[in-house]
Amino acid sequence: MGIYLNQNNIMFSKDINSDIYVDKTLLIEQTNKYINTNSQYVCISRPRRFGKSMAANMLTAYYSRGCDSREMFENLKISKADSFEKHLNKYNVISFDMQKFLVKTESVEEMIQEMEEEILDEVLAEYPQLERYKRLDLSKAAGKVFAETGVPFVFIIDEWDCVLRYYKDDESAQKTYLDYLYALFKGQPYVALAYMTGILPIKKYGVHSALNMFNEYSMEGAYPFSEFTGFTEEETEKLCKQYDIDINETKKWYNGYNVDGIAIYNPRSVVEVCRRRRFTNYWSKTETYNALKMPINLNFDGLKEKIEKMIAGENIILDTGTFQNDMSSFHYADDVLTLLIHLGYLTYDFDTQSCWIPNMEVQQEFVRSIKGGGWEPVINAINQSEECLKATLSGDEETVARIIEQTHQENTSIIKYNDENALACVVTLAFYTARNQYEIIRELPTGKGYADIAFLPRPNENVPAIVVELKKEQDASIALKQIRNRQYTEKLSAYSGEIILVGINYTTDPNTEYKKHTCRIEKIVK
């Protein structure tokens, strides 16, 4: 038993003995399928505080020959799997957190040397017969152990990408590091499984990967590891029931991550709300402020517009293919947004090739991060949004028109097109705080068409539903007439009582870019 070689199971023991533990041991069943196959190289990337280290502890406890973990796992899900007995504590496991070596060295070369020396010392202590060989490094030592004993190695590396993040502008340092990992793993018969986890996927050079033997499972697509990315709906509902936490409020704050069509909750935040019984921002407090602020303020064409639209609640189409899986090689706005997907600030749908802000917790962090830096029009709109909602609920047409007009005029430098879609973005921004009480849906299918914007009350919110129709160069009364004639409110049959109909129109002055807005509000009772 060593610090790096064949650790005991004490770290995973601490995990499962915690007051809140969610059983994710079926991840082991998936990695067992890759042992001693051509799929033996696995790289799983997730945002911070999404359970990466716990997964590494679990795999170490399961595979390591340095302990007997049968009793630890016997009441967990993996114990029922057919492969449980086959691989339990059968391998030489080398497991470590790369960042621990990084922080105490001054260069990548020194880090590699330090890591090699410390791990090699443990290998030689475990297998003293290797002392007869000269000029041993870790790769040669592992090869000799495998040749003499027939026992292969499982490598588990946490924070594998820390070098790429710390030396983000030093391509030479990155290459040295990646070349080392390539030599350690590629084509080596002693490797039964190489499991790396971090925030970033494998670094790319052009269209090629530096570690092309690894299969990547990331926030862009993690199947068959999707359900292990965070807490699932079922797991979260069970915790909320156990701790008497409102599941609807939990969903609003911490849900919204889409991983291969599976709804994923932020595990860190769900655990904390169960412990503290208070809905607030838990996850982003573990991050550095600049992790979000610096990328979104980069001067790429179209980036501000896309960020503003997402703050307003829209989904954005993007191309993730040009992202080089690092922290500095940005060429397009979409590269920045792809980074934010991996950092957990956005989520992504592969089928629609779109991304969005997942929940209120992250939404708040975006708003904090855009304060200053040329985002004042957006902040002004957010600050007025509560007044806009109150005016709508009270039927104050002039105030609603004034606020939307101001929001539209002030944000024309960001929103570069002028049509009903642009107006829809403006309206959802002007109603920013409404999302606390409402689910806001664009293009809601209704009786005889699509309502431009529908505000559907969240569970337990005693507020009227709102249907908004938008027009350009027409009349707000025409918008109201369309809502009635096309029976847009039929879709709202589940909502009894008052429903508010809102028609909004803007007319552009032919001599200027000024946009005059009008609003008509009508209340009906079902």
**Taking each helix axis from N to C terminus, what angle separates 233-243 and 247-254, rounded to the nearest 10 degrees?**
130
**251, 309: one domain:** yes
Residue 4 counted as domain residue: no
Tokens 């499982």 sit at which residue?
Answer: 154
pLDDT by residue (tens digit) across 164-178?
999 999 989 999 999
Establish whether the linkage from the previous residue to 224 is cis, with ω within 30° of 0.
yes
**493, 402: one domain:** yes
Confidence (pLDDT) at 99: 96
- Residue 341 and residue 348: Cα distance in Å, rounded? 7
Structure tokens at 520: 């008509």
Residue 291 counted as domain residue: yes
Terminal alpha carbon distance of the chain: 71
Domain extent for 89:
10-217
Final residue before a domain boundary, out of 349, 370, 391: 370
User: pTM higher than 0.75, yes or no?
Assistant: yes
- Residue 436 and residue 73: Cα distance in Å, rounded? 42
**73, 204: one domain:** yes
CA 348 to chain centre: 8
Q: Given pLDDT bands bounded at 50, 70 and 90, which one contains residue 37? A: very high
Indicate the average pLDDT of the chain: 91
Q: Given pLDDT bands bounded at 50, 70 and 90, which one contains residue 207? A: very low
**169, 200: one domain:** yes
Structure tokens at 49: 């505080």
**59, 134: one domain:** yes
- Residue 61 and residue 76: Cα distance in Å, rounded? 13
pLDDT by residue (tens digit) across 138-148?
999 999 999 99
**382, 364: one domain:** no
Q: Given pLDDT bands bounded at 50, 70 and 90, which one contains residue 184? A: very high
**225, 211: one domain:** no
Task: Report whether 219 contacts 45 (CB < 8 A).
Answer: yes
Final residue before a domain boundary, out of 370, 402, 421: 370
pLDDT by residue (tens digit) across 263-299?
999 999 999 999 999 999 998 765 655 778 888 888 7
The C-alpha torsion from 72 through 267 and 272 to 75, rounded to 10°, is -20
Torsions phi, psi of 96, nearest 5? -165, 160
- Residue 71 and residue 84: Cα distance in Å, rounded? 12
**31, 114: one domain:** yes
- Percent of the chain residues past pLDDT 70, beyond the cut: 96
- Residue 460 and residue 474: Cα distance in Å, rounded? 37
Establish whether the linkage from the previous residue to 47 is cis, with ω within 30° of 0.
no
Domain count of the chain?
Answer: 3
Tokens 């002693």 sit at which residue?
Answer: 190
**224, 213: one domain:** no
Count CA atoms within 13 Å of residue 52 on its CB side. Answer: 24
Q: Given pLDDT bands bounded at 50, 70 and 90, which one contains residue 319? A: very high
Task: Report whether 34 contacts 193 (CB < 8 A).
Answer: yes
Final residue before a domain boundary, out of 217, 234, 256: 217
Question: What type of residue sits at position 96?
Answer: F
Task: Single out the residue of 404, 388, 405 nearest to residue 513, CA to CA.
Answer: 405
Residue 5 counted as domain residue: no
Residue 134 counted as domain residue: yes
Residue 1 counted as domain residue: no
**156, 274: one domain:** no
- Residue 315 and residue 349: Cα distance in Å, rounded? 10
Residue 130 counted as domain residue: yes
Residue 2 counted as domain residue: no
Torsions phi, psi of 368, nearest 5? -60, -40
**29, 69: one domain:** yes
pLDDT by residue (tens digit) across 66-114?
999 999 999 999 999 999 999 999 999 999 999 999 999 999 999 999 9
- Residue 184 and residue 138: Cα distance in Å, rounded? 8
**359, 394: one domain:** no
Residues 6+ apart with CB under 8 A from 452: 420, 424, 442, 443, 468, 469, 470
CATH number for the domain spanning 157: value is 3.40.50
Task: Look up residue 347 and give its DSSP letter.
Answer: E
Q: Could you tell me the sign of the dihedral formed by the alpha carbons of 337, 338, 342, 348, in that order?
A: positive
- Residue 174 and residue 108: Cα distance in Å, rounded? 8
- Residue 322 and residue 332: Cα distance in Å, rounded? 8
Helix-strand-coil split of the chain, %, nearest 5: 45, 20, 35
